[in-house]
Amino acid sequence: MEQYPIPQFIEAEGKIAFFISFRQFFYLVGAGVVCFFLYWILPTILFYMFSIVIFVGTAILAFATVNGMPIINIILSSIGFSMGGKNYTWKKKESPYPFKPIKRTQIKKIDQGPVLQAQTSQLKKTKTAIELRTK
């Protein structure tokens, strides 16, 4: 009998309509309820300004993702990181292979004796004369 791999870490949300999940639907309904109350409380021009801002923000929260994560998770994680305590510890990492120091031998400096002058042969003199056309 064959064994098939079992999928793990499946993160699928239930869909209400074609592309709207329950979470997205509740975001949009919540924004609609807030705008409904603002309609009765605020003057018309302020209602339009606030409702546009609320629905744009809600659409971003409901539909936008960054690296496969919803924006609301990123916002909540950043708030948790900002508010939470931070413990900075440094731990020296050991190398997997211990290195042994190399003992280098001391290089002895040789005392310079009298320097011999290079002798130029007659062949080199002739070659130089031919190249320079001095003869």
pLDDT digits (tens, 9 = 90+) for 77-96: 999 999 988 888 887 777 66
Q: What would the mean pLDDT of 108-132 be, rounded to a whole number?
A: 74
Is 78 domain-assigned?
A: yes
Q: Check whether 117 has a pLDDT greater than 70.
A: no
Task: Confirm whether 57 is domain-assigned.
Answer: yes
| Residue 46 belongs to some domain of the structure | yes
Is residue 30 assigned to a domain?
Answer: yes
When divided into structural domains, the chain yields a total of 1
Could you give the angle at the alpha carbon of 82 between the alpha carbons of 79 and 83, nearest 5°?
85
pLDDT band per the 50, 70, 90 thresholds, residue 115: low
Q: Which domain holds residue 78?
A: 22-82
- Please write the tens of the pLDDT for every residue from 20-58: 888 899 999 999 999 999 999 999 999 999 999 999 999
With H, G, I as helix, E, B as strand and everything else as coil, classify residue 15: strand
Q: What is the DSSP letter of 70?
A: E
Distance, in Å, from the CA atom of 127 to the CA atom of 134, rounded to the nearest integer, reads 11
